[in-house]
Structure formats: structure tokens, C-alpha cells
Amino acid sequence: MTLNYFHFTAVLFFIGLLSCGTEYEEPSFTIQNNNQVEQLVTINGVIINGGGLQMTLEAPMLKSKGKAIELGSVTLDQSGKFSLSADVPGLGYYILKVNGTSLDSIELTLVPGDSILIKTHKDSIGNAISVSGVSWSQDLEEYQKNRALGNLKGLSDFAAQKMKQNPASPFNIVLSLYIMQSPEDWDEERIQIFGGVASAFYKTYPKTDVSQNFVDQFEIMQTYMLNNGFYDAPDFESTTINGDKLSLSDLKGKYVLIDFWASWCGPCRRENPNVVKLYKKYKKKNFTILSVSLDQDLTKWKSAIVQDQLEWPHHVSDLKGWNSAVVPLYQIKGIPFTVLINPEGRIIGMNLRGNSLEERLKSIFNY
């Protein structure tokens, strides 16, 4: 699996610690105030043979005394018709319950101003409904059928398909709950699908809690994938201090810490003693370091290696500074920056240093 993931259009999330280099500004979000003026939605329809049933609209993500907030309720007339109006605090996840049960329920992603028409039968609420009035009507109808089958794999595949087709659809709020039902569903394609939704929501609904939640979840997914060997580290070749060529792939079969640094980088130099300590501790356990310098001055680069006692044999640089070919390849925004690779050449850690690097190596080598 190649690392085209790095070039994915969604926002890249790397934890910004003190570093030298280009300025990296994390995206900022303005979250809607929960005290904002609420706006009306209307839900009309008919439930055949449902006369006298009670219907409630709940907001599961909004709690009061541990319970979901009820936004509105209505009793169906004798013919099963109903009309329910409610104020909602914004784009979000809502449940329309019949007789207060989750079995007979319809999951909705309402936006203030929505007007929805629902038709079904008393015995088919959980599996067959007709919906109109919103862009995601068909998605809801198909989702209800898939959910009723009880096939989690099928529901997960359906969610992935729909989220990929229309990343900005409000109904993806519901589908996102099912796209990764099992460990087998954690793959690059689905992470990218989820990332596409996060990016679309950030652009389309930039001032909502929902957008923030999607972005937060995508960050967690990225971190998980980058720490668990899902991606091949991009190979590259550079020049050693002796003028020879060395490729990252030449070190395959070992745990490799790629350490991007430079002699002129103060934080890099301050981190070097910790890197030296860890190299001495684990060098006999199939562990090595590949130092990649963003220097431009060969003399200063060599001098820093000697001064900081960087005793491992693998030091490379093309002496092009920030114009080095490795900068865009690894999306380097600042140094020091590290990438930890397993013997198969897959990434198992990003931007580790200090205690975080020490703990990661300790967990690998049990020492």
C-alpha cells in the first residue's frame, strides 16, 4: 500500500511541536453556540394502521440528566396521519421514535428548515419507508432496508458506497456510524472515504459541531493508520557524507528511525542526545537510524555529526535545504521530524521524539 495518502485532499493533521522550518497553521473552527436561535423543521406523513400511536423526535447527542432531549411529539390521528414541528439547534443526528422504542425508529439528519414527508406501515417502520422532501430521501429508504437485514458487513459496504458517492450529504452523519463495523473495514480506501466526507463537511458546513466531529474522527483514524503499519514508507535515495548513494530500501529488514534534522536547527540539536541514547540502547535489537539532513553546507553538516556524537553509520543529504526532494515526499513542515519504520518498510510512527519515541521503542522491543 503506497503512501498516496499523504497527498489526499483532506486536511493533514500532524501534531505541531517546537520545530525549525516552515510555519504550519492548523485549521481553525468556529463552533456554533448551543444557545443560538433554533429553527423549525416539519415532519409530516402517515403510518398505515398506526392510529393513536405516539411519535417523538429526539436528539441523542444532546443530553439532559443523562437522557436524550425530546424536541417534539405528536399522537397519530385515527387514519395514522401526523404532523410534527420542532425546533432543532442545527445540522445533526436525530431519531424519530414510534411509541418510544428504538426498534420502531427512523434515523434522520435534519437541517433547520427541512420539511419531510414519511409514509410507511405500522409493521414496516423499521425496514420499509417512503421518504420525500430532502436530498437524502433515497439514501434513508435504502439504509432502512439494509439495517433491517441485520447484516453488518452489508450495511458497512452500503455506507462506504454512499459516502463515497456524495461526501457532502447530510445523511452521512448516520452512515458514518456504520462504515467501519469491524477491523477488516479499517483500510486505506475507507479512511480516504471518511476523509473526503470530513473535507466536504468542513467546506459545506464550516461552523457546525458535526464538521468538527468529522475532522476529529478523521484525525484519530489517520493517527491509527500511521502507527500500525498500514502504509509503505516512500523510498528515496540520497548521498552519504562520503559521497556514496544510500536508499531507504537498503535498510529494509530493520526497524529504522528516519530522523530529519539539520546542523542549524536548535531543537534538532537539543533532541540529538536523546536519539543517541536510544540508539545505544537498541542498536543490537535490529534497530538503526537514518539521519536525513536539510543542510546546505557540507562542512557544517559533518561538524554537527561529530559534535553531537551521532555514531550510527547512516547519514545522508542532498545539501539542498528545504528544496530537498524528501521534503514534499514526506510532507515535512518542520524539523526535527521523525518516521519510524518496521522491518517490512511500513510506517509505524510519525513525528515521535523525546518520551513518545522512547515509549514507542520500549513497546516494540519490550526493553
Q: What is the pLDDT of residues 128-171, one digit of tens each?
A: 899 999 999 999 999 999 988 888 888 999 999 999 999 999 99
Q: Among residues 169, 197, 226, which one ends one of the domains?
A: 226
- Dihedral of CA atoms 15, 18, 24, 29 in degrees, nearest 10, equals 50
Residue 73 lies in a domain: yes
Domain that holds residue 276: 237-365
What confidence tier does 100 reach under pLDDT thresholds 50, 70, 90?
low
Q: Are residues 302 and 209 in the same domain?
A: no
Question: Cβ contacts of residue 329 below 8 Å, gap of 6+?
Answer: 234, 236
Q: Are residues 157 and 79 in the same domain?
A: no
Residue 33 lies in a domain: no
Residue 32 lies in a domain: no
What is the model's pLDDT at position 360? 94
What confidence tier does 224 reach under pLDDT thresholds 50, 70, 90?
confident
Q: Are residues 68 and 174 in the same domain?
A: no
Q: What is the CATH number of the domain that holds 358?
A: 3.40.30.10
Statement: residue 337 has pLDDT above 70: yes
Statement: residue 209 has pLDDT above 90: no
Question: Cβ contacts of residue 91 below 8 Å, gap of 6+?
Answer: 109, 110, 111, 112, 170, 173, 205, 208, 210
Average pLDDT of span 340-355: 94
Q: Are residues 219 and 249 in the same domain?
A: no
Statement: residue 275 has pLDDT above 80: yes
Statement: residue 2 has pLDDT above 90: no
Higher pLDDT, 11 or 19: 19
**Which residue in 253, 249, 273, 275 sits closest to 337, CA to CA?**
275
**Residue 22 vs residues 250, 325, 331: alpha-carbon distances, Å:** 30, 15, 11
What is the model's pLDDT at position 74? 95
Distance CA 80, CA 76 (A): 5
DSSP 122: G
Q: What is the CATH number of the domain that holds 67?
A: 2.60.40.1120
What is the model's pLDDT at position 102? 56
Q: Are residues 265 and 349 in the same domain?
A: yes
Distance CA 263, CA 240 (A): 15
Percent of the chain with pLDDT over 70: 88
Statement: residue 270 has pLDDT above 90: yes
Total number of domains in the chain: 3
Q: What share of the chain is helix, strand, coil (3-state, %, to 5)?
A: 35, 30, 40
Q: Are residues 49 and 87 in the same domain?
A: yes
Average pLDDT of span 23-48: 57
